[in-house]
Amino acid sequence: MSNEIRVRFAPSPTGYLHVGSLRTALYNYLYARKVGGKFILRIEDTDRTRYVDGAVENLLSTLEAMGLEFDEGPGEKGDFGPYFQSERTEIYNKYVKELLEKGKAYKCFCTSDDLNKMRDEQKAKGMDTKYNGHCRNLSKSEINEHLTNKDSFVIRLKIPQDGEITFFDVVREKVTFPWDMVDDQVLVKSDGFPTYHLANVVDDHLMGISHVIRGEEWLSSVPKHLFLYEAFGWKPPKMCHLPLLLNPDKSKLSKRQGDVAVEDFINKGYLSETLLNFVALLGWHAPDNEEFYTLPELEKAFSLKRINKSGSVFDVEKLNWMNGQYLRNTDLKIIGEYARTFFNKAGYNIPNEKHYLELVDIARNRINKLDEVTEFAKPFFSELNFSEEDKLILETESSQTLFKFWIKNIEEAPVLNEEIVNELLKRSAQELGIKGKNLYPPLRLALYGSEHGPELPTIMDILERGKVVDRFKNALK
């Protein structure tokens, strides 16, 4: 296992999957597939105060919808489980005990009030807020007194107070932190559950993780993690911290400025293929500058060395454009299956599959998101409402003559198909002398509610004969 590439995606079940987390999962997945390694899913659920019911199920279903299959994790075979951190507390207890015995960690009995007072004093002096080390050097008798009184405590990491630490990051390259910028991190909370910092180091080691690929916000935690690796005598994995995703104003991407959950984008009609393609290019530049990739193509092209240092703007307009390209160029039956959810939600039912796909095909050439498809389809399912301006067009003498002509000929025709429609269009011009703007706009308006829209044979094919006649009759005075 020592030479095997093993990467992990380790989300916390605190809500829906963020698009930034999707990118982290994708990059881990792509790297594993590129080098023939293993992609592991681990649920970091030790913060019980932030645990959200259903979040794990949502996470698993979202990853499945995105096509990101993990090799080890919840519900999958794997030799390094359990893959829920809440089920691994006994493991962490063993290693915490070792840190205490080595003098690399200590019990801290400071109360919430103590910590709040300490922070207020530091802020008042213009200092950075961090733990001041009050309990670092308590005597055995002081510790025993607290324990005898059953005082609540946490366990903190005993970070060096002098010097600095330098490490290499795949994206950031050489990184240096002075130790006095690093806090004495809480490793075990008062409820007995470990924090992220302890659990992820222990699990990454025990699960044989070779590369830690995660968001840039964790870069400042690396000194704490490397200190833990050294304390345990373990070889640390390679570090790779991904650039931030940004709003257009260059602030960190957040819910305050729009959707950030993958599920929100799916519910708005963005394709999973689009989302994967789009987030792959947020922070990674392809060697050939292509814009469109399938997942297998990304697996071949991906490289950690081509990850950017600077943050990437989440450009919704670019996402809309890209999704529109996918809608227009993906197999029609696949788009039809995606769109069916939106038709069902709107209560629109087209029993004729040919007509349904015909309508989807028309719509996808005019929209960028599938949640727009039902608005485009609405005229086929709802009663048409005409404005006063529309009525002026419908009630002209030539329009009324046109509608009567079409009603009579459609009712007399054996069938209504494209050939018949085109023949009636030709006869309208020849026999009635009605052409151009006096022909097509009134017909479309009467049938579709707009002077502009799909071709007339298509409209009539989808509406079918009975509804076509009814709508023409409705357009008569």
Please list the active-site residues.
255
The DSSP-derived string for 177-203 is EEGGGS---EEE-TTSPBPHHHHHHHH
- Kindly state the greatest CA–CA separation across the chain: 110
Q: How many residues belong to the chain? A: 477
Is the separation of the CB atoms in 277 and 211 below 8 Å?
no
Cα 237 vs. chain centroid, distance in angstroms?
Answer: 27
Give just the sign of the alpha carbon dihedral 443, 447, 453, 458: negative
What residues have CB less than 8 Å from 92, skipping those under 6 apart? 188, 194, 198, 199, 202
Is the separation of the CB atoms in 297 and 241 below 8 Å?
no
167 token code pair: 């490490």
Half-sphere exposure of 196 (CA within 13 A, CB side): 13
Strands in 154-157's sheet, in edge-to-edge order, are 105-108, 154-157, 186-188
- Provide the 10 A C-beta neighbour count for residue 362: 19
Taking the C-alpha atoms of residue 143 and residue 146, their distance in angstroms, rounded to an integer, is 5
Please list the alpha-helical segments (H only) found in 310-439. Answer: 316-329, 332-346, 353-364, 373-381, 388-394, 397-412, 418-432
Is the separation of the CB atoms in 168 and 239 below 8 Å?
yes
